Amino acid sequence: MRVLLVSPYHGGSHAAWADGFRRHSAHEVSLLTLPDRFWKWRMHGGAATLARRFLADWGRAPDVVVATDMLDLTTFAALARHKLGRTPLVLYMHENQLTYPLPENGDAGPMRRQLGERDQHYAFINYASMLTADLVLFNSQYHLDSFFEALPRFLKHFPEYNELGTVAVLRAKSAVLAVGVDFGRLEVGDLRLDVGDQSPISNLQSPLIVWNQRWEYDKNPEAFFAALYAMEVEGIPFRLALCGQQFGKRPSIFTEAIERLSDRIVHVGHAEPDEYRRLLWEAAVTISTAHHEFFGISMLEAIYCRTFPILPHRLSYPELIPEPFHLRCLYQNQGGLAARLRWALTHPVEAGEMARELGTAVSRYSWSKMAPKYDQIFEHVR
């Protein structure tokens, strides 16, 4: 079976997902991509460029086209219709432009030209692409549910012929298919042997807390550092590694925290693969305070490396963490976050045992287990 995977914003988690599926699929998977920059122009113009390349480079139609949510699938399908014919079209929703949270500061970030207001055109591209697709796949149940909760309100904005009846049609052809994760890249040979059979939280050094998410407003770093400041005031020892990508101007809280916690910080900024692996296996605790998370690859990577997770009881996180661990790992508010962090830092044996169990549990998201599910779905799409 020949699968064409179209990714107009090919970088970060989108690229990792596409490359992982290509490596692990039993089918012949080809990528048609553009670099991950100028995301608005990718959603506007990427379809035209990629359709032109497809028509020029592909001798015959693939058996299925799989596109990411950043593609205007309607335009792509229209421009390539003579070659595509009745080829099934699958839309994979990593994220969407309807429920992606906006920054509180409308003068900064990607929506500054709309003064913080959502540009409905990009949400409409997602909506029209879903109408065009034969099958729509969301990366989590939370993502699917939140989108379909918001979609009727979005359509009601329009003055007439607002097509509310399409909500049920789209829901009927939508399903959840989790992201596959390349846990193999986190294996570090001797390093795993050193720390994998015992909890890193029990090391003689102060326990290491790792931040491995983007340095952006939607990850809510203010709440993360507030919890760390509370531990600092209480005199609870810890070290800190601040990993993750930075795009443009970073939130000012990072500058403040790097200065205040300088004597506890062991790493700042993007970590190269070897360093990233080492930090995850050494880390005792990983924390998310995100306002936005449709899936959570970085959290799964940390958990796989036996790092104890402390996560909000919302977004996609309750799906990632098995229910027996919810009480200890998932928090409802800032006080709950601080309480769980305090417990993890002061109960290393119990936290370590839980981290080992969770590391085994999340292996269900490995590509070796997820790729056959992808293959089966794509084989039967009509």
- At 157, list the tokens: 């904005």
Q: What is the pTM of this model?
A: 0.89
Q: How many residues does the chain have?
A: 382
Helix ranges, 288-366 (H): 297-304, 317-320, 326-329, 334-346, 348-361
Same CATH fold, 183-365 and 2-180+367-380? Answer: yes
Q: Select from 97, 96, 93 the least CA-distant residue to 175.
A: 93
Per-residue pLDDT of the chain (382 residues; tens, 9 = 90+): 999 999 999 988 899 999 999 999 999 999 999 999 999 999 999 999 999 999 999 888 999 999 999 999 999 999 999 999 999 999 999 999 999 877 665 555 555 444 456 788 999 999 999 999 999 999 999 999 999 999 999 999 999 999 999 999 999 999 999 999 999 999 876 444 344 444 444 445 899 999 999 888 889 999 999 999 999 999 999 999 999 877 667 888 999 999 999 999 999 998 999 999 999 999 999 999 999 899 999 999 999 999 999 999 999 999 999 999 999 999 999 999 999 999 999 999 999 999 999 999 999 999 999 999 999 999 999 7
Q: In terms of C-beta density within 10 A (0-12 exposed, 13-18 middle, 19 or more buried), how is residue 272 classed?
A: exposed
Angstrom distance (rounded) from CA 124 to CA 334: 35
Kindly report, residue by residue over 254-311, the tens digit of the pLDDT. 999 999 999 999 999 989 999 999 999 999 999 999 998 999 999 999 999 999 999 9
Give one DSSP letter per residue of 213-229, joined into a string: S-SSGGG-HHHHHHHHH
Arch. (CATH architecture) of 183-365: 3-Layer(aba) Sandwich (3.40)
CA–CA gap between residue 368 and residue 184 (Å, rounded): 10
Domain boundary assignment for the chain: 2-180+367-380, 183-365
Contacts for 46 with CB less than 8 Å, ≥ 6 apart: 8, 9, 34, 70, 71, 72
Topology (CATH level 3) of domain 2-180+367-380 = Rossmann fold (3.40.50)
Region of 116 please: left (phi>0), alpha (psi -120 to 50) or beta.
Answer: left
What are the tens digits of pLDDT across the range 137-173?
999 999 999 999 999 999 999 999 999 999 999 999 9
Start-to-end CA span in the chain (Å) = 14
Give strand pairing partners of 33: 7
